[in-house]
Chains A and B, each alone.
Chain A
Amino acid sequence: GAVVSQHPSRVICKSGTSVKIECRSLDFQATTMFWYRQFPKQSLMLMATSNEGSKATYEQGVEKDKFLINHASLTLSTLTVTSAHPEDSSFYICSAKVPSAEAFFGQGTRLTVV
């Protein structure tokens, strides 16, 4: 299957700082990328959908000014958590796809805000 690389796998940051998470499709060009968040013992929740070259579509309840998503190329999408707070601590995971095909997932990023 296709490979999606997510970096970093773990990050600890201080409250008030910003953190960038990268999601790369290594062997295919992803027209669409998705960002999910998973709190402990809960389901994954879709945060936003991004299509290359256009603005991301955010799900209800997700602050677009806090979670900045950039999908500037067909192989890279980034999620920046701005002014992070402890309640933003979570597991963030991306997936990438091409039209008419299933999505492939990155390894996830464990964010801890202290």
Chain B
Amino acid sequence: KQEVTQIPAALSVPEGENLVLNCSFTDSAIYNLQWFRQDPGKGLTSLLLIQSSQREQTSGRLNASLDKSSGRSTLYIAASQPGDSATYLCAVNSNSNYQLIWGAGTKLIIKP
């Protein structure tokens, strides 16, 4: 059974720092992996989707990497801003049906 773990559970850093969020999964047979952002009491915003054949995806200040063999993905945020404060969720899709298995999230606080 696929399990997804995110470390750390919470992170607080000063504005401007570069940071890395980690996601690990137990079954390397994945279809794709997706990173989301969730603001308090709000829905989900998709940030990056990495297909199983890809090693990384980039969007603006965000870069997500995928190492299937080791069951790991990282989300790199460059030059963090207070507006980046949110909970970041990692979700693994094991097949084309898109039934996602979710990590518990990393709550990120960027201090001005």
Contact = CB atoms under 8 A, between A and B. Distances in A.
Of B4, B96, B102, chain A has the most CB atoms within 10 Å of the CB of B102
Contacts of A42: 104
Nearest to A107: B43
Interface residues of A, number: 26
Given A1-B46, A44-B89, A110-B41, A103 B104 contact: no
Interface of B: 4, 32, 34, 36, 41-44, 46, 49, 89, 91, 96-105
Interface string A80-109: 000000000001010101011011111110
Given A41-B104, A42-B104, A102-B34, A49 B99 contact: yes
Nearest to B104: A43
Interface string A28-41: 00001010100001
